[in-house]
Amino acid sequence: MQGLFWFTVLTDCSDLRRTRKLRNLINNSGLIMSDASYRDAIFSTPLDKVARFSFDEQVVACFPDMIRRSVPGYGQILGMLSLIAQRHLRHGAHVYDLGCSLGASGLALAGAMPADAFRYTGVDLSPAMVGKARQTFLEECPDHAMRVEEADIRTLKYAPSGMIILNFTLQFLPPADRDALLARLYAALEPGGVLILSEKTVDADERDNAWRVERYHDFKRANGYSDLEISQKRTALENVLVPDTLEALHERLKQAGFPRSMTWFQYLNFASLIAFKP
């Protein structure tokens, strides 16, 4: 009887912890990563020649700060992931997080769901990202089934999955490679499975696009980036991050086989879509 009491108390405590973490995520635009990362100052001094952006050690060291200050709504998207997962995932289903970087989506899921609720595989091409993500999962959620693979998501052999997360990654693939990947993800999803696709977007209308980009730069300035940093980062990302329009993203999903997709979140020129496999 006493044992049952403690079991109930302990279960309630961890439920409470999960609820707090989740509430924190939804209401703040920050990350739940407990280690404070370095402040992103990569483009803060004038560079003779701005090199193409790459996910190297320097970026990994300041990545949580960089993404939090550069992607409007990043924390809110992470927070909603687990609420979406809890509605759509069957118990114990497999989840992919493609282009997982430091595994923030995995941490968000593990922070909100019990260890046996899902199995997670993060995939990233950057060895520095993969190494740090593995270490974070070991430290933060050793009881959850969290794997991280170093691989190219275009050539990976996919296991059947209930949910696939593609958060701010498709935009880094050459546009010609995007449809083939989405078709393979549709095939990998189990019936009833969902794909979450979050991307930076561009407007077809020039005036709308200019307005959104200008307000986005205001957002970055308000988050402490200087005009020099904004302009050098923009140069570094040219032809590396190639955004689609929202309409093109929905069309790609349709071509890939998804009969239904919707934009569930939008903040300036960043959006998150959900696509359903019947």
Chain residues that interact with ligand GEK, rule: CB under 6 A: 55, 67, 99-101, 104-105, 123-126, 129, 152-154, 167-169, 172-173
Least Å from the CB of residue 162 to ligand GEK = 18
Q: Is 152 marked as a binding-site residue?
A: yes
Nearest to ligand GEK of 65, 124 (CB atom): 124
Q: Is 122 marked as a binding-site residue?
A: no
Least Å from the CB of residue 200 to ligand GEK = 7
Burial class (CB in 10 A: 0-12, 13-18, 19+), 89: buried
d(CA 13, CA 187): 39
DSSP state, 141? Answer: -
Least Å from the CB of residue 239 to ligand GEK = 14
Measured distance between the N- and C-terminal CA atoms of the chain, rounded to whole angstroms: 46
Least Å from the CB of residue 37 to ligand GEK = 12
Residue 207 token pair: 């005036």
Residue 275's nearest CA partner among 132, 163, 158 is: 163
Q: Is 74 marked as a binding-site residue?
A: yes
Q: Is 244 marked as a binding-site residue?
A: no
Nearest to ligand GEK of 175, 259 (CB atom): 175
d(CA 13, CA 241): 43
Phi-psi category of residue 120: left, alpha or beta, with phi > 0 → left and psi -120 to 50 → alpha:
beta
Residue nearest to ligand GEK (CB): 99
Least Å from the CB of residue 147 to ligand GEK = 15
Nearest to ligand GEK of 154, 220 (CB atom): 154
Q: Is 101 marked as a binding-site residue?
A: yes
Residue 62's nearest CA partner among 38, 33, 43 is: 38
User: Would you list which residues are annotated within the binding site for S-adenosyl-L-methionine?
Assistant: 74, 99-101, 152-153, 167, 234
